Amino acid sequence: MHTSASMVMGIVFSPLGLVLVFTAAITPQWREGQARLGVRSGAVEALLLLRSDGLWESCLQVEHPELKQCWPVAGPYQRDRRVLLTQGLILTSLFLCGTGIVLACIGVRCWTAIPLRGVAATGGLLVLTAGLLSLTALGVYTHNLARLGMPNPSQGVPVNPRFPQLSLRAAGSLYFGWLGSCFQVLGGTALLFTFKRPRYPTCPSCPELTACPACRSCPEISNKHDTDVYEVSC
Protein backbone atom coordinates (compact mmCIF):
# COMPACT_ATOMS: atom_id res chain seq x y z
CA MET A 1 0.00 0.00 0.00
CA HIS A 2 1.05 3.63 -0.53
CA THR A 3 0.94 5.56 2.75
CA SER A 4 -0.15 9.12 2.04
CA ALA A 5 1.93 12.08 3.14
CA SER A 6 -0.86 13.29 5.44
CA MET A 7 -0.84 9.97 7.29
CA VAL A 8 2.94 10.05 7.74
CA MET A 9 2.80 13.66 8.91
CA GLY A 10 0.02 12.90 11.39
CA ILE A 11 1.70 9.79 12.79
CA VAL A 12 4.97 11.71 13.31
CA PHE A 13 3.66 14.99 14.72
CA SER A 14 0.96 13.62 17.02
CA PRO A 15 3.21 11.51 19.30
CA LEU A 16 5.80 14.28 19.32
CA GLY A 17 3.17 16.74 20.51
CA LEU A 18 1.99 14.29 23.17
CA VAL A 19 5.52 13.86 24.54
CA LEU A 20 6.13 17.61 24.69
CA VAL A 21 2.82 18.40 26.41
CA PHE A 22 3.35 15.55 28.89
CA THR A 23 6.86 16.84 29.62
CA ALA A 24 5.46 20.30 30.25
CA ALA A 25 2.74 18.92 32.54
CA ILE A 26 5.10 17.06 34.88
CA THR A 27 7.85 19.68 35.14
CA PRO A 28 7.66 22.54 37.68
CA GLN A 29 8.83 25.35 35.41
CA TRP A 30 5.59 26.92 34.19
CA ARG A 31 6.52 30.18 35.83
CA GLU A 32 9.55 31.33 37.77
CA GLY A 33 10.63 34.36 39.70
CA GLN A 34 13.49 35.65 41.76
CA ALA A 35 14.02 38.04 44.63
CA ARG A 36 16.90 39.11 46.79
CA LEU A 37 16.65 38.44 50.49
CA GLY A 38 17.40 41.25 52.90
CA VAL A 39 21.09 41.90 53.56
CA ARG A 40 22.17 41.54 57.15
CA SER A 41 24.82 43.74 58.66
CA GLY A 42 28.25 42.54 57.71
CA ALA A 43 27.04 40.36 54.84
CA VAL A 44 28.96 40.65 51.61
CA GLU A 45 26.00 40.11 49.29
CA ALA A 46 22.30 39.35 49.46
CA LEU A 47 20.99 35.84 48.96
CA LEU A 48 19.17 35.22 45.67
CA LEU A 49 15.85 33.38 46.06
CA LEU A 50 14.58 31.47 43.01
CA ARG A 51 10.99 30.20 42.93
CA SER A 52 9.37 28.05 40.21
CA ASP A 53 5.82 26.72 39.98
CA GLY A 54 4.27 24.02 37.84
CA LEU A 55 0.85 22.43 37.72
CA TRP A 56 1.57 19.85 40.42
CA GLU A 57 4.91 20.84 41.93
CA SER A 58 6.73 23.93 43.18
CA CYS A 59 10.42 24.40 43.85
CA LEU A 60 12.44 26.88 45.89
CA GLN A 61 16.15 27.41 45.38
CA VAL A 62 18.62 29.59 47.24
CA GLU A 63 21.93 30.39 45.62
CA HIS A 64 25.16 30.85 47.59
CA PRO A 65 24.89 28.37 49.27
CA GLU A 66 23.19 26.12 46.73
CA LEU A 67 19.96 24.78 48.28
CA LYS A 68 16.88 23.48 46.48
CA GLN A 69 13.63 22.02 47.77
CA CYS A 70 10.53 20.89 45.84
CA TRP A 71 7.06 20.05 47.16
CA PRO A 72 3.53 19.44 45.81
CA VAL A 73 1.62 22.62 45.08
CA ALA A 74 -0.38 23.85 48.06
CA GLY A 75 -2.10 26.88 49.50
CA PRO A 76 -3.79 29.62 47.45
CA TYR A 77 -1.95 28.58 44.28
CA GLN A 78 -3.34 25.04 44.48
CA ARG A 79 -6.88 26.32 45.12
CA ASP A 80 -6.81 28.94 42.37
CA ARG A 81 -9.63 28.19 39.92
CA ARG A 82 -7.45 29.09 36.94
CA VAL A 83 -4.80 26.58 38.00
CA LEU A 84 -7.48 23.92 38.49
CA LEU A 85 -8.91 24.71 35.06
CA THR A 86 -5.48 24.42 33.47
CA GLN A 87 -4.88 21.07 35.19
CA GLY A 88 -8.20 19.68 33.98
CA LEU A 89 -7.67 20.84 30.39
CA ILE A 90 -4.14 19.41 30.23
CA LEU A 91 -5.23 16.02 31.60
CA THR A 92 -8.15 15.87 29.15
CA SER A 93 -5.82 16.85 26.32
CA LEU A 94 -3.33 14.09 27.17
CA PHE A 95 -6.10 11.47 27.30
CA LEU A 96 -7.66 12.56 23.99
CA CYS A 97 -4.29 12.76 22.25
CA GLY A 98 -3.27 9.27 23.43
CA THR A 99 -6.60 7.81 22.31
CA GLY A 100 -6.35 9.59 18.97
CA ILE A 101 -2.85 8.25 18.33
CA VAL A 102 -4.03 4.68 19.01
CA LEU A 103 -6.92 5.11 16.55
CA ALA A 104 -4.62 6.70 13.99
CA CYS A 105 -2.18 3.77 14.21
CA ILE A 106 -5.04 1.30 13.75
CA GLY A 107 -6.43 3.31 10.84
CA VAL A 108 -3.18 3.77 8.93
CA ARG A 109 -2.45 0.02 8.93
CA CYS A 110 0.68 0.25 6.80
CA TRP A 111 0.97 -3.56 6.93
CA THR A 112 -2.18 -4.00 4.80
CA ALA A 113 -3.18 -2.83 1.34
CA ILE A 114 -6.18 -0.69 2.30
CA PRO A 115 -6.07 1.72 5.29
CA LEU A 116 -9.07 2.39 7.49
CA ARG A 117 -9.37 6.04 6.54
CA GLY A 118 -12.39 6.74 8.71
CA VAL A 119 -10.68 5.39 11.83
CA ALA A 120 -7.47 7.33 11.09
CA ALA A 121 -9.41 10.55 10.53
CA THR A 122 -11.36 10.04 13.75
CA GLY A 123 -8.06 9.72 15.57
CA GLY A 124 -6.94 12.92 13.90
CA LEU A 125 -10.06 14.70 15.14
CA LEU A 126 -9.26 13.63 18.71
CA VAL A 127 -5.65 14.77 18.38
CA LEU A 128 -6.77 18.11 16.96
CA THR A 129 -9.22 18.57 19.83
CA ALA A 130 -6.44 17.72 22.30
CA GLY A 131 -4.20 20.36 20.75
CA LEU A 132 -6.91 23.01 21.01
CA LEU A 133 -7.52 22.13 24.66
CA SER A 134 -3.79 22.40 25.39
CA LEU A 135 -3.63 25.79 23.70
CA THR A 136 -6.61 26.97 25.75
CA ALA A 137 -5.01 25.78 29.00
CA LEU A 138 -1.70 27.45 28.16
CA GLY A 139 -3.47 30.65 27.19
CA VAL A 140 -5.37 30.81 30.48
CA TYR A 141 -2.23 30.15 32.52
CA THR A 142 -0.05 32.59 30.59
CA HIS A 143 -2.64 35.38 30.70
CA ASN A 144 -2.97 35.09 34.50
CA LEU A 145 0.61 34.02 35.22
CA ALA A 146 1.53 36.82 37.61
CA ARG A 147 -1.78 36.65 39.52
CA LEU A 148 -2.10 32.90 40.16
CA GLY A 149 -2.22 32.21 43.89
CA MET A 150 -1.25 35.76 44.76
CA PRO A 151 -3.12 37.78 47.44
CA ASN A 152 -5.44 40.44 46.07
CA PRO A 153 -5.42 43.63 48.16
CA SER A 154 -8.61 44.85 46.45
CA GLN A 155 -10.48 41.92 48.00
CA GLY A 156 -9.19 42.63 51.50
CA VAL A 157 -6.42 40.01 51.42
CA PRO A 158 -3.38 41.45 53.25
CA VAL A 159 0.08 41.34 51.71
CA ASN A 160 2.92 40.36 54.01
CA PRO A 161 5.58 43.08 53.68
CA ARG A 162 8.26 40.76 55.13
CA PHE A 163 7.93 38.28 52.25
CA PRO A 164 10.00 39.33 49.22
CA GLN A 165 7.95 40.09 46.12
CA LEU A 166 8.92 37.89 43.18
CA SER A 167 9.15 39.13 39.61
CA LEU A 168 7.34 36.26 37.90
CA ARG A 169 7.82 35.35 34.24
CA ALA A 170 7.11 32.46 31.88
CA ALA A 171 9.49 29.51 32.19
CA GLY A 172 10.66 26.62 30.03
CA SER A 173 7.74 24.24 30.59
CA LEU A 174 5.34 26.73 29.04
CA TYR A 175 7.39 26.80 25.85
CA PHE A 176 7.42 23.00 25.71
CA GLY A 177 3.65 23.09 26.08
CA TRP A 178 3.14 25.65 23.33
CA LEU A 179 5.37 23.72 20.94
CA GLY A 180 3.71 20.39 21.74
CA SER A 181 0.22 21.86 21.29
CA CYS A 182 1.17 23.19 17.86
CA PHE A 183 2.46 19.74 16.87
CA GLN A 184 -0.82 18.21 18.05
CA VAL A 185 -2.84 20.63 15.93
CA LEU A 186 -0.66 19.98 12.88
CA GLY A 187 -0.75 16.20 13.34
CA GLY A 188 -4.50 16.11 13.93
CA THR A 189 -5.19 18.32 10.91
CA ALA A 190 -3.00 16.14 8.71
CA LEU A 191 -4.83 12.99 9.81
CA LEU A 192 -8.18 14.62 9.04
CA PHE A 193 -7.15 14.75 5.37
CA THR A 194 -7.19 10.94 5.29
CA PHE A 195 -10.97 11.14 4.90
CA LYS A 196 -10.29 11.97 1.27
CA ARG A 197 -9.95 8.82 -0.81
CA PRO A 198 -7.21 8.64 -3.48
CA ARG A 199 -8.11 8.63 -7.17
CA TYR A 200 -7.01 5.60 -9.18
CA PRO A 201 -6.43 5.57 -12.95
CA THR A 202 -8.89 3.79 -15.19
CA CYS A 203 -8.17 0.37 -16.61
CA PRO A 204 -6.61 0.60 -20.12
CA SER A 205 -8.74 -2.22 -21.56
CA CYS A 206 -11.95 -1.18 -19.73
CA PRO A 207 -12.12 2.65 -19.44
CA GLU A 208 -15.27 2.46 -17.37
CA LEU A 209 -13.52 0.28 -14.77
CA THR A 210 -11.37 1.82 -12.03
CA ALA A 211 -7.92 0.22 -11.88
CA CYS A 212 -7.62 -0.18 -8.12
CA PRO A 213 -4.33 -1.90 -7.21
CA ALA A 214 -5.77 -3.12 -3.89
CA CYS A 215 -8.71 -5.07 -5.38
CA ARG A 216 -7.05 -5.84 -8.77
CA SER A 217 -10.25 -5.00 -10.63
CA CYS A 218 -8.40 -4.41 -13.88
CA PRO A 219 -7.48 -7.61 -15.78
CA GLU A 220 -4.25 -6.12 -17.09
CA ILE A 221 -3.15 -5.27 -13.55
CA SER A 222 -4.27 -8.57 -12.05
CA ASN A 223 -2.13 -10.48 -14.55
CA LYS A 224 1.03 -8.69 -13.43
CA HIS A 225 3.29 -9.79 -10.63
CA ASP A 226 2.71 -8.25 -7.19
CA THR A 227 5.97 -6.33 -7.37
CA ASP A 228 4.58 -4.39 -10.31
CA VAL A 229 1.42 -3.44 -8.45
CA TYR A 230 2.26 -2.37 -4.90
CA GLU A 231 4.39 0.45 -3.71
CA VAL A 232 5.35 0.04 -0.06
CA SER A 233 6.35 3.22 1.70
CA CYS A 234 5.26 2.69 5.32
Predicted local distance difference test score (pLDDT) of residue 208: 47
Q: In the structure, what pLDDT confidence band is assigned to residue 123 with cuts at 50, 70 and 90?
A: very high
Pairwise CA distance, residues 208 & 28, whole Å = 63
Residues of the chain with pLDDT > 70: what percent? 68
Q: In the structure, what pLDDT confidence band is assigned to residue 14 with cuts at 50, 70 and 90?
A: very high
Q: In the structure, what pLDDT confidence band is assigned to residue 230 with cuts at 50, 70 and 90?
A: very low
Residues of the chain with pLDDT > 90: what percent? 37
First to last CA, the chain: 8
pLDDT at 98 over 90: yes
Q: In the structure, what pLDDT confidence band is assigned to residue 227 with cuts at 50, 70 and 90?
A: very low
**Between the CA of residue 186 and those of 6, 95, 96, 192, what are the distances in Å?**
10, 18, 15, 10
Helix %, strand %, coil % of the chain (to 5): 50, 10, 35
Predicted local distance difference test score (pLDDT) of residue 108: 83
pLDDT at 210 over 60: no
Concatenated DSSP letters for 147-175? Answer: GTT---GGGT----TTSPPP--EE-HHHH
Q: 33 - beta bridge partners?
A: 51
Q: In the structure, what pLDDT confidence band is assigned to residue 197 with cuts at 50, 70 and 90?
A: low
Backbone angles phi, psi at 151, to 5 degrees: -65, 145
Q: Which of 88, 78, 170 is nearest to 136 (CA)?
A: 88
Q: In the structure, what pLDDT confidence band is assigned to residue 188 with cuts at 50, 70 and 90?
A: very high
The CATH number assigned to the domain with range 5-38+49-152+167-195 reads 1.20.140.150
Contact at 8 Å (CB) between 21 and 10? Answer: no
Three-state secondary-structure class, residue 67:
strand
Pairwise CA distance, residues 155 & 199, whole Å = 64
Q: What pTM was estimated for this model as a whole? A: 0.75
Q: Which helix (H) or strand (E) holds 89?
A: helix 81-108
Ordered by start, the domain boundaries in the chain are 5-38+49-152+167-195
Per-residue pLDDT reduced to its tens digit, 30-56 = 998 887 766 554 555 667 778 888 999
Per-residue pLDDT reduced to its tens digit, 132-147 = 999 999 999 999 988 8
